[in-house]
Structure 1
């Protein structure tokens, strides 16, 4: 298994080798010259965009897109803390396949921030989400331990272990069959500080926050969740929601209101990568 940084270096080496082969071919006397193939749009956009490092080389943080176009990114945290295996064994469900089916039915692109522990518990679902062109899988840590103290009662991970925890999650995705996880990271609980950003900088990830809180965590009123989302969305918004039945049981029901209402207002749903790519190209 390779880390994200190693994968980026590998891509760069492959690109250099491909260029060298192409140049050598141009000088061949074996036949007439052939025009180099034009890269397809898919090839040009296959590498997910990231933001440049922040001040003092800290990992960059993305909160929402600076857009005039009415686009919105729905993001879903697939949470499972490392020590919740016994609860899963007793039948508690940390997945939400009905939610994923609803997104597919509505044809809504989305970014799923997945913990490595979740991918281990539900490898078939992780693989299916990663293989679906509607979705992209991003990193939500392996353990779902907090990267700062006093973060919603979550256990805390030591700074020296932060980078390894993120890399362990990417490895869990690969083992589950998620071939192309995007280089985005969401802090458990959304809690971070300079120490955490410094620890993640070497991994080459962009930290992704949000500007709209759905309030779906532990909610029992789907209409209230929908109202929070619809009242907060603006062009370029990132909405945080959850993909865990036990902790967010009404999210799928809330989507039945959110999706048609936003589309009626003229919004188009996008993945986080599109927002980040647009912001990077606008600079």
Structure 2
């Protein structure tokens, strides 16, 4: 049981609660490593941030505060490497009605998808990957933590971190996502210098958030709506989830939040647009 929405204090904790933990340990080795995403923005490729000091993987939390009222809604498609039996028993880790609501409301969004989710729902992954309204990014293959003590998640060893990310890209492409973006969201939002160093050769920008919605396991949609509306600022990145069993109110939240933010003058954007604005490309 997680605490009520209003009492969540850390972004990492909420995102991490979506994973039902299995045995600890690294995921199985990838058999086919995908082509690495580019680390150099160009007119035909998504923008990324420049590496941090010492070449560390850069971290993005929100866009500029001074370039107008723009907000990015992001959704984590979570499924851990060991949750296959639960899906086979009928648990729904997808949320087609939420995606339908986003399409009906014409809201662009960024979906951070685990490789295991893409394997479980390849038709949905392919549909999202081919829809220009959405962009699909990497949320690891296993949804195991990249740091120790990340709210009970099993952990990936430092020597398997890059492999886990590359395995996710392979799974996304195998499911039919033609161009998964060079953006990575750490499971649970947990990372440290070791994790940033382990991924520095992959060419990704790590994407966090500055507004946590509180939709995980929430039953009071109005409380989640209030938390989002109170937190959004120009350039904000909002984290939500598209997992029916673990975030059952999210569709209702989106249907309430979107018109209200538009009424307040906000425009919805993908993460790639906020990163481009941060880079001064817009």
TM superposition score category, shorter chain reference: 0.7 to 0.9
Matched residue SS, 1:99 = helix
User: Do structure 1's residue 179 and structure 2's residue 178 form an aligned pair?
Assistant: yes
User: Which aligned pairs between 1:106-117 and structure 2 lie closer than 5 A?
Assistant: 106-117=105-116
Normalised by the length of structure 2, the TM-score is 0.86
2:208 aligns with 209
2:34 aligns with 3
User: Which aligned pairs between 1:24-39 and structure 2 lie closer than 5 A?
Assistant: none
Structure 1 residue 66, shift from structure 2 partner: 1.3
CA distance in 1, matches of 2:88, 2:33: 30
User: Which aligned pairs between 1:1-283 and structure 2 lie closer than 5 A?
Assistant: 3-5=34-36, 8=38, 45-68=43-66, 69-281=68-280
CA distance in 1, matches of 2:181, 2:83: 25
Of Structure 1 and Structure 2, the greater helix share is in 1
Structure 1 residue 45, shift from structure 2 partner: 3.9
CA distance in 1, matches of 2:43, 2:80: 33
**Which segments of structure 1 move beyond 3 Å, counting only runs of 4 or more?**
1-4
Q: Any stretches of 5+ residues in structure 2 without a counterpart?
A: 1-31
| CA RMSD after TM alignment | 1.7
Q: Any stretches of 5+ residues in structure 1 without a counterpart?
A: 13-43
CA distance in 2, matches of 1:188, 1:280: 25
CA distance in 2, matches of 1:50, 1:100: 26
2:15 aligns with none
CA distance in 2, matches of 1:2, 1:130: 19
Structure 1 residue 4, shift from structure 2 partner: 4.2
Equivalent pairs, count? 250
Normalised by the length of structure 1, the TM-score is 0.85
Structure 1 residue 56, shift from structure 2 partner: 1.4
Q: Call closer, same or farther: CA 1:155–1:2 in 2, change over 3 Å.
A: closer
Answer yes or no: is the 8 Å Cα contact 1:74–1:240 preserved in 2: yes
